[in-house]
Structure 1
Amino acid sequence: MASEKLVNLQEEVTCPICLELLTEPLTLDCGHSFCQICLTANSKESVAGQEEERKCPVCRISYESGKLRPNWHLANIVQRVREVKLSLEDQEKHLCVHHGEKLLLFCEEDGKVICWLCERSQKHRGHSTFLIEEVAQDYQKKLQAALERLKQEQQEAEALESDFREQIAAWKSQTQYERQNVEAEFKKLRAILDSEERKELQKLKAEQTAILCTMANSENELIQQSQFVRSLISDIEHRLQGSTVQMLQDVNDILKRSKTLTLEKPKSVPKEQRSVFRAPDLRDILRVFNELRHVQRYWVHMTLSHTTGNRNIAISADRRQVTYVFKGQGQNPCWKEVYEDYGVLGSPVITSGRHYWEVDVSKKRAWILGVYGEKHAQFNTKLPLKADGNHQNVYPRYQPKNGYWVIGLNHDSVYNAFDESSSSDPMILTLSLSVPPRHIGIFLDYSAGTLLFLNVTNHGFLIYKFSSCSFSKKTFPYFNPLTCKVPMSLCPPSS
């Protein structure tokens, strides 16, 4: 009833021109009222700038524009109509859409605001219901906690986005640097290496495209996550700023979404170790160098772990360098007649796959490198040693049947490989190297049963290859500095 009266009253205070409630009403002598701005605009259109009498837009009775005065009484009535209209609209928001009753109760199971008739209906019968005032503060706290968590998640999402953009920039910088390096090196050998240069650049471009594509997809996922978080935050903020009914309506759903939200970190891009390109002098050298770069993809982080307990061996704090340090044999009067093994085993243990590592032997006069297999003879610590200190008499242990696949340097310039032999002594092969190695690369392919020793100093030329090896279930990298006091060190990747 009150609504019908309001509609009738609203029609009486509606401008016939704009059909909205009157604004700054002006009443003509004929009794019709209009918004000041509507009447002024209508008069200008009808007269078109001429000084003539104006006519009422409703009844067409003439009026003088100079005698128009604001109708303040009517303006006050319009203002009261506006207030009543807003009040009724606000009350309708708090009425049940099914029964027209006031929304005074909150159903905890359904997370909805209901009226007393809804509480007695089949839909809500047996549910836990509370007065809105009883639960409003508790749910406000829950929403506030959810909002704080989401804001924290948003900060983490933005941090992830920032870090990922830095990764993208780093990858771009790295690939750009390598591109320039490749172009500069190939320019020196353009006549021979034009085709090789194109292959290298195409591979680099493909790698860059693939990586950046992956990163771009991951970045889009992060952006979508961030947008979802912002959407939830906006929804909760809107609820907290609105009325209690608006805050509680379907509150369980948004709380559930906020609780179950979990940021997914982007897939990390594998940072495969890549060697810096150095231009060789000849086509054959380039072929060898490419083979070296291929095996360097399997570079593993190696450390020194197991020792024989020899007091004359010192291992650095980072476990990447071993040095012979003579400290004598204490009370052992026969130490000159005994050869102490200065070997050190590396970690990780090799049980499968392909593995590559490099050892710095610069300035060393003697050393032995390779791998040792656990299933073979025990890791001997002592063998007879001649008084002259020559290492030749310790070589019988270094052969594959005893679990050793090694090469060595003796007397500063004699390089040997110790291969299988039918006798108790190994087959000692003297190796001819045009360039003395300062860095030696070791590549083990467990399933293929091969072990390569590469002269990294000479672009990766092969020093020696063991084939058809029966590696043990646990195979260890082996390092022996012998009695040369210059340290031998594990090289970091791409050194």
Structure 2
Amino acid sequence: MDFSAQMNIQKELTCPLCLDLLTEPLSLNCGHSFCQACITANNKEPVFALGGEHQCPVCQSRYQPYNLRPNPQLANIVKKLREVNTSSHQWQGGNVCEHHGESRLIFCKEDGKAICKLCVLSLEHQGHQTFPIEEVVKECQEKLQETLKKLTDEEQEAEKLEANISEERATWKHRMHTERQKILKGFDEMRGALDREERKELQKLEEDEVNVLDNLAAAKDQVAQQRQYMSELISDLQHQIRESTLDTLQDVINVIRRSESWTWKKPKIVSTKLKSAFQAPDLSRILQEFKELTEVQSYWVDFMLNPVNALSGVVVSEDHRQVTAGNSFMFRNVYPCNFSAFDVLGCQNFSSGKYYWEVDVSRKTAWILGVYSDLNRSDLNRKRSSGFVFNPHVNYQTVYSRFRPDNGYWVVGLQNVSEYNAFEDSSTSDPKVLTLSMAVPPCRVGVFLDYEAGTVSFFNVTNHRSLIYKFSKCRFSQAAYPYFNPWNCPTPMTLCQPNS
């Protein structure tokens, strides 16, 4: 039975005089019924109509007292209705309207409280929106559960975020420590003349550290405060779910409103990128070169090695960081015509941005390394011949003929133990071989590619990070690859771990 039908039946079974369910009902010929006590009391009032007639309190039709007749059928219906109301709302035990003594089974939305069926008919609640109490309680319980789940999920998310912030804070402190060590090492190499610049750089770093850590600490505090509020709200919700009654229904609604108005605000997390990497001051040529290498090392990229040819003359280590010339290609009275079987590229290619890597060439007597740009794929894609012809009078210019920018190579190399060369373009078919002077032979060579600027730079990391050579105005029409060639030297060349 829906609520409107129930209300209509109860209205029909309500005494028009006392507005309560009929007790010992008496009915008139006009069809209206009254409690026996109510209509009897009404009949004791002075009667001015002729013949001792009375008027029906509802329709004013005239009747004689003997016209009042008991209505047992109506009395039985009223009895059953009382039993239904009592059994269907046992959970309200003792929840009786203080005005009418009836169970409060209806909720008035405007007044925000439970009322009885007779209160609905009163002037106080006339025109108000009313709902069965069961529906309101069910709706409140559903909202409580929904809100509890939402806040519980947000609390878990807040816990994770708080842990991430703590971890991020530790990571920042570690990064700051690493950067500080780099700065201290650089200034130690430059001695006391750079003390003032050292203090300046450290102060800048410390300011960044304070700002970043303070921001992270503030973000953590903000999350903690919101967690505290959410915990209190969750506690209130759980309390209302366990112990809510009709008397505290308004409190339940208030908690729901607080929960619905609550918005979880995530703090703004600072960028994980340092505002500025350390740059050594520009005081002299050495300091300038030191500054350049320090800057480019911030673009250190990690990748693996990959032989170019199916018939490769190289052996690559399991970790793909070390390459060695194969035994079948070394010192057997054979000499490769162009050493293309030793070609090795980095697995990663670059079509924009800045990139840096370092190669360990310790104890090697020959090597070539740098950058290769895939101009037409014809050079590195065709299959290499595995046959070599020994020629003690081989023309080395011919051997190096492919190593030139016009062919997509920007490389430097070592030949014959101590000859360091850079290979530039020339007006002939052979490259222009430039002899490079090395005060200290490099054990480690740094390579820096600036794709947009069109430059490839080489640094002697062993000798105060001095500049070996720089290619300018490079035309990278395609993606650029790191290039390696161990040449005919049995000693391996190794791709260094970043920041090692």
Q: Distance in 2 between matches of 1:289 and 1:339?
A: 34
How do 1:311-460 and structure 2 match up within 5 A?
A: 311-326=312-327, 339-376=339-376, 378-380=378-380, 382=384, 387-388=390-391, 393-460=398-465
Q: C-alpha separation between the residues in 1 aligned to 2:185 and 2:405?
A: 44
8 Å CA contact 1:443–1:451 kept in 2: the answer is yes
**Which residue in 1 is equivalent to 2:58?**
none
With structure 1 as the length reference, what TM-score do the two structures score?
0.65
Supply the distance in 2 between the matched residues of 1:137 and 1:472 (Cα, whole angstroms).
Answer: 70
Alignment of 1:270 with 2:273, yes or no, is yes
| Bigger Cα displacement from structure 2, 135-144 vs 368-377 | 135-144
Structure 2: how far apart are the matches of 1:144 and 1:123? 28
The answer to whether 1:249 aligns with 2:259 is: no
Q: State the one-letter code of the partner of 2:357.
A: W
Match of 1:465 among 470, 484, 487: 470
**Superposed, which structure 2 residues align to 1:466-485 within 5 Å?**
466-485=471-490
Q: Does 1:491 align with 2:496?
A: yes
Cα distance, 1:306–1:197 mapped onto 2, change above 3 Å: same
- Give, in whole Å, the separation in 1 of the partners of 2:297 and 2:97: 75
2:278–2:295 contact (8 Å) kept in structure 1: no
Task: Give, in angstroms, the shift of residue 466 of structure 1.
Answer: 0.5
Secondary structure at the counterpart of residue 397 of structure 1: coil
Counterpart for residue 56 of structure 1:
none
Amino acid at match of 1:442: V
Partner of 2:239: 238
Greater CA radius of gyration, 1 or 2? 2
Q: How does 1:6-405 map to 2 (within 5 A)?
A: 104-105=105-106, 115=115, 124=129, 129-132=131-134, 136=137, 140=141, 143-144=144-145, 146-147=147-148, 150-151=151-152, 153-172=154-173, 174-175=175-176, 179=180, 182=183, 186=187, 190-245=191-246, 246=248, 248-249=252-253, 253=257, 266-267=269-270, 269-270=272-273, 283-305=284-306, 307-326=308-327, 339-376=339-376, 378-380=378-380, 382=384, 387-388=390-391, 393-405=398-410
After TM superposition, give the deviation of residue 328 of structure 1 in Å: 6.9
Counterparts of 2:344 and 2:431, CA distance in 1: 21
Give, in whole Å, the separation in 2 of the partners of 1:312 and 1:122. Answer: 96
- For 2:77, the equivalent position in structure 1 comes to none
Partners of 1:95 and 1:102 within 8 A in 2: yes
Q: Distance in 2 between matches of 1:461 and 1:353?
A: 23
Conservation of the 8 A alpha-carbon contact between 1:440 and 1:454:
yes
Report deviation, 1:456: 1.1
Range with greater deviation from structure 2 (146-155 or 438-447): 146-155
Q: What is the one-letter code of the residue matched to 1:362?
A: S
Post-superposition CA distance 1:75-122 (Å, at most 9, x none): xxxxxxxxxxxxxxx9999989xx999763569x99x76656779976
In structure 2, what is the Cα distance between the partners aligned to 1:325 and 1:272?
A: 46
- Alpha-carbon separation, structure 1, partners of 2:444 and 2:96: 83
Following superposition, the deviation at residue 404 of structure 1 comes to 1.0
* Native 8 Å contact 2:338 2:398 kept in 1: no
Residue type at the aligned position of 2:231: R
Deviations 1:123-154 (A, max 9, x none): 748xxx5542x675786476457546644543
> 1:155-195: CA deviations, max 9, x gaps?
44234324423443453455356547755774676542223
SS in 1 for 2:206: helix
Q: Tell me if the contact between 1:274 and 1:296 (Cα under 8 Å) persists in the aligned partners.
A: no
- For residues 346-403 of structure 1, the C-alpha deviation after alignment (integer angstroms, 9 at most, x for no partner) is 2432111222121222222222211111234523354896514876533111111111
Q: In the TM superposition, what is the alpha-carbon distance from 1:408 to its structure 2 partner?
A: 1.3
Q: Do 1:273 and 1:493's aligned partners in 2 also have CA atoms closer than 8 Å?
A: no
CA contact (8 A) 1:375 1:473 kept: yes
SS of the equivalent of 1:457 reads coil
SS class of match (1:477): strand
CA distance in 1, matches of 2:101, 2:497: 78
Q: Deviation per CA, 1:240-274, whole angstroms, max 9, x where unpaired?
A: 2442444652676566568x858678455236996
User: What CA distance in whole angstroms lies between the structure 2 residues aligned with 1:430 and 1:100?
Assistant: 111
Pair 286,336 (structure 1): closer, same or farther in 2 beyond 3 Å: closer
Contact 2:329 2:488 in 1 (8 A): no
- Paired letter, 2:233: L
Q: Distance in 1 between matches of 2:455 and 2:243?
A: 74
Question: In 2, are the aligned partners of 1:363 and 1:486 still within 8 Å (CA)?
Answer: yes
Contact 1:455 1:461 in 2 (8 A): yes
| Preserved CA contact (<8 Å) 1:385 1:394 | no
Shift of 1:492: 2.1
Q: Is the 8 A contact 2:179 2:278 kept in 1?
A: no
Aligned 8 A contact 2:446 2:459 in 1: yes
Q: Say if 2:460 and 2:466, in contact at 8 Å, map to a contact too.
A: yes
Query: Could you list the runs of 5+ residues in structure 2 that have no partner in the other structure?
Result: 1-91
Count of aligned pairs: 391
SS in 1 for 2:494: strand
SS in 1 for 2:379: coil
1:53 is aligned to none
User: What is the CA deviation profile of residues 461-487 of structure 1, one whole-angstrom value per residue up to 9, with x for unaligned ones?
Assistant: 111110111112311221222233333
Q: For structure 1, which segment, 227-236 or 242-251, has the greater mean C-alpha deviation from structure 2 after superposition?
A: 242-251
